[in-house]
Amino acid sequence: MTTLLGIELDGRRVVVAGGGPVAARRVRSMRLAGADVLVVAPQLCEELAELAEDRVIRWRCGEVREGDLDGAWLVHTATGDRAVDAAVAAWSQERRTWCVAAGDVATGTARTPTTTQTGEVLVGVVSTGAADPVRSRTVRDQLAEVLRSGGADLRARRGGSASTPAGRMGRVVLVGGGPGDVDLLTLRGRRALAEADVVVTDRLGPLGVLDELAAGVEVVHVGKTPGHHPVPQHEIERILVERAQRGQVVVRLKGGDPFVFGRGGEEVVACHEAGVPVEVVPGVSSAMSVPALAGIPLTHRGITTSFHVLSGHEGLTPAARQVLHDGATLVVLMGVSMLPAMVAEALADGVDPALPVAIVENGSTPRQRVTRAPLAEVVARAEAVGVRAPAVIVLGRVAAEGLLDRAADPDG
């Protein structure tokens, strides 16, 4: 019966008999594991020759001899000559040294699995009967997809619980969750959640993914609403740092992208100042994705070639007013409460009252709704239909209703 065994090769001697492409592939993985590799062959392929020249591996030029196996922890034979491979396997067995025989796995005493790695988890697949590399690779690829998509619980465990050893520093991962639909969360973001001990989340973004977390993952809600910040930013940063210092993997799940009005930069700085490792996983920004989901192109040939993103808390800045005068697209995030003031400023500055405006509420969710009106009428229209945050506001000719239908009709 064949079993899988993880072998620590770092600093240990491995002998590879053969100098061709098969041997090169095996040497590559052994070097990644830190093995001390001796290759025995009359000639080397180009890749192995370069490694030998750079003294990354050792090479003895000639046919393999029994004495070459002295001190070896593992032997891999790939000479292409079945008789030679069988002899090397026999010498290994006499020495009680594990041997992988590339030409005939039944001759050796070990098999090399086809592997896939996600984070610190390495998964290997081998056949227990006759060698079947195609089946092994197929199964490996299917498992790799599950791991990449966050479909497995990847938390570190010690002593039967999800935790890290005392004294070991954890880390923080800032994950951009996209506009709200779980399907718009990136694979890398899902994988980070699969590794998380703690998830610190906003009220926006893909909250549905929280239902997919493994049992025991702690969820800390720190979401803000307009005018109400129950957990101030400095407290959020303290939570991230403190949990990582306990040795936990902390995912900061944000709506959109962490670096687009998400205060992600401030949280990265706080982690750096505390000596906490931090990683950023970009997300699909609401500034671009929500208009796209509503059929609004932020740029369109013959209409505009640029767009500007503004935080509604800033009001209509001089740069934003210039964008509207130049005919570019203006995208406003977190601007529902400031809409009347921004419209008044734009009209007072001479912006065309007929400029198309679109407001997209709850983008990417089943409750998505688009409200359109000319600039001079949009405030009244928004009040009439009861527009509420969260919403993305798009100002510019690209926001006109039926734009794409007209663009597709050469006579339109």
Residues in the chain: 412
pLDDT at 406: 64
In CATH terms, the superfamily for domain 288-407 is Tetrapyrrole methylase, C-terminal domain (3.30.950.10)
Tell me how crowded residue 318 is: count the other CB atoms within 10 A of its CB. 9
pLDDT digits (tens, 9 = 90+) for 61-119: 999 999 999 999 999 999 999 999 999 999 999 999 999 888 777 788 887 777 777 77
- In degrees rounded to 5, what are phi and psi of residue 208? -60, -25
161, pLDDT greater than 60:
no
- In degrees rounded to 5, what are phi and psi of residue 390? -80, 140
pLDDT at 407: 58
pLDDT at 157: 65
Tell me how crowded residue 78 is: count the other CB atoms within 10 A of its CB. 25
pLDDT digits (tens, 9 = 90+) for 103-128: 777 788 887 777 777 777 777 777 77
Q: Which of 145-149, 224-228, 370-374, 408-412 has the highest mean pLDDT?
A: 370-374
pLDDT at 160: 39
Question: From the candidates 36, 85, 202, 257, which is the catalytic residue?
Answer: 202
163, pLDDT greater than 50:
no
**Residue 202 is a catalytic residue:** yes
In CATH terms, the superfamily for domain 171-284 is Tetrapyrrole methylase, N-terminal domain (3.40.1010.10)
Enter the tokens of residue 204: 């926006």
% of the chain at pLDDT higher than 70:
92
In the block, residue with structure tokens 């794409």: 404
Mean pLDDT lowest among 226-230, 250-254, 321-325, 326-330: 226-230
Tell me how crowded residue 152 is: count the other CB atoms within 10 A of its CB. 17
**Residue 36 is a catalytic residue:** no
Q: How far, in Å, are 31, 42, 80 from residue 58 at the CA level?
A: 12, 13, 20
Tell me how crowded residue 386 is: count the other CB atoms within 10 A of its CB. 9
pLDDT at 227: 57
Nearest Cα to Cα of residue 37 among 62, 66, 73, 7: 73
- Using a 10 angstrom Cβ sphere, with 0-12 exposed, 13-18 middle and 19 or more buried, the burial of residue 312 is buried
Tell me how crowded residue 23 is: count the other CB atoms within 10 A of its CB. 26
Mean pLDDT taken over the chain: 88
pLDDT digits (tens, 9 = 90+) for 267-291: 999 999 999 999 999 999 999 999 9
Fold of the domain spanning 13-113: Rossmann fold (3.40.50)
Q: What is the pTM of this model?
A: 0.68
Strands 329-333 and 391-395: antiparallel
Question: From the candidates 224, 257, 326, 405, which is the catalytic residue?
Answer: 224
Radius of gyration of the chain (CA): 30
Indicate the pLDDT class of residue 412, thresholds 50, 70 and 90: very low
Establish whether domains 171-284 and 288-407 are of one fold: no
Q: Domain ranges in the chain?
A: 13-113, 171-284, 288-407
- In degrees rounded to 5, what are phi and psi of residue 180? 150, -40
Beta-bridged to residue 198, according to DSSP, are 218, 250
Burial 164-183 (b: 16+ CB within 10 A, else e): beeeeebbbbbbbbbbbbbe
Beta-bridged to residue 38, according to DSSP, are 15, 58
